Amino acid sequence: MNDKKPRILKISILRFDPHDPDDFPHMETFEIEESDGMTLFIALNEIREHHDNSLKFDFVCRAGICGSCSMLVNGKPTLACRTLTAKLGENISLAPLPLFELIGDLSIYTGKWMRYLNEHLETWIHDKEEELKFDNLEEKMEPELADEIYELDRCVECGCCVAGCGTIQMKPSFVGAVGLNKIARYHLDPRDKRTDEEYYELIGNEDGVFGCMTLLGCEDVCPKDLPLQSKIAYLRRMMIKASMN
């Protein structure tokens, strides 16, 4: 390994405790020594353990899988746990994702937002058929189609696309790329028996696919590299078609 002296990172964090009436949003800078392979997960835990144990942030899997730790790193929404400090300069700024309810410091209430979205868009398989017969063989599905559905199913609801979305800044009721991608996913799935007209009811409006201004910040920041641009375009065509019927 290299014998170079480790860097001293200056990590500036936007801090605010909404439960403390005397507190106000302010930046606080912590200096820590960089270690080999250090991620922001490691760095933030070091700050909490050795500098300020009241620092609030959200990590769960710390492996880039669960989507908990999205935040603004140098102004850009991303997953903190898999961000190596080596890829950043010595001065790092961290702030909570905008638009979501703030719990404190870098901790945000994405769960509430996403739950509302899922309930609103009814992101589950709609099948009015009789009860499932689980003793029988499963229904067949074309292997390529299963792969395609999984591709869209890989969304981790981290909220980066929401934070990167220009439309939501002006129109908070917009469902965002996360919502539209979910609809694209169910639309693709033959197990979901909803018709195009039913989908139109859900997203054929300004809060849905016609609200998107096509700035596509969502696609730039998606940590799972989901094909958001092409799916939004596809849905828009489908919904225009549905509206003409």
Partner 1 sequence: MKVIYTDVLIIGGGLAGLRVATGVKERGHDAVVLTLVPPKRSHSAAAQGGMQASLANSKMGEGDNEDVHFSDTIKGSDWGADQVVARMFTHCAPKAIRELAHWGVPWTRVKRGDREAVINAKKVTITEKDEAHGLITARDFGGTKKWRTCYTSDGTGHSMLYAMDNKAHEDKVEIHERLEALSLIHEDGRCYGAIARNLMSGELVAYVSKATTVATGGYGRIYSVSTNAIICQGMGQALALESGVATLGNMEAIQFHPTAIVPVGILTTEGCRGDGGLLLDKDGYRFMPDYEPDKKELASRDVVSRRMTEHIRKGKGVKSRYGDHLWLDITILGREHIEKNLREVKEICENFLGIDPAVDWIPVRPTQHYSMGGIRTKYTGESQTLKGLYSCGEAACWDLHGFNRLGGNSVSETVVSGMLVAEYISDFLESSDSDMSIHSKKVEFFLNKEQKKLDNLLNKENGEDAYVLRRRMEEIMMEKVGIFRNGKDLKEAVDELEELLKRSANIEVFRSKSRAANPALVNAYRTQKMLKIALTCALGAYLREESRGAHSREDFPSRDDENWLKRTITSWPDENQTLPHVSYEAVDISSMEMPPGFRGYGKDLTRHHPITKVMQDKVDKIRQTMEAEGKNRFEIQDALMPYKDKLPKKYQGTNARFGENV
For the chain, give the longest Cα–Cα distance: 69
Q: Stretches 3-11, 147-155, 169-177, 205-213: which one binds partner 1 (CB under 8 A)?
A: 147-155
Q: Residue 79 contacts by C-beta under 8 Å, 6 or more apart in sequence?
A: 64, 67, 69, 70, 158, 160, 223
Helix H, strand E, coil C: the string for 4-24 is CCCCEEEEEEEECCCCCCCCC
Residue with tokens 């404190």, as numbered in its chain: 104
Nearer to partner 1, 141 or 213 (CB): 141
Q: Where in 224-243 is the site for partner 1 (CB under 8 A)?
A: none
34: three-class secondary structure by DSSP: coil
Among 24, 75, 130, 137, which residue interacts with partner 1 (rule: CB under 8 A)? 137
Q: Does 146 bind partner 1 (CB under 8 A)?
A: yes
| b/e burial code for range 225-242 (CB count within 10 A of at least 16 → b) | ebebbebbebbbebbeeb
Q: Does 190 bind partner 1 (CB under 8 A)?
A: no
- Two tokens, residue 127: 């099948």
Among 5, 134, 244, 245, which residue interacts with partner 1 (rule: CB under 8 A)? 134
Q: Does 90 bind partner 1 (CB under 8 A)?
A: no
Residues in contact with partner 1 by CB under 8 A are 1, 17, 19-20, 36-37, 39, 42, 48-49, 52-56, 58-68, 82, 84, 103-104, 107, 109-112, 114-115, 118-119, 122-125, 127, 132, 134-143, 146-147, 149-150, 153-154, 156-157, 189, 191-192
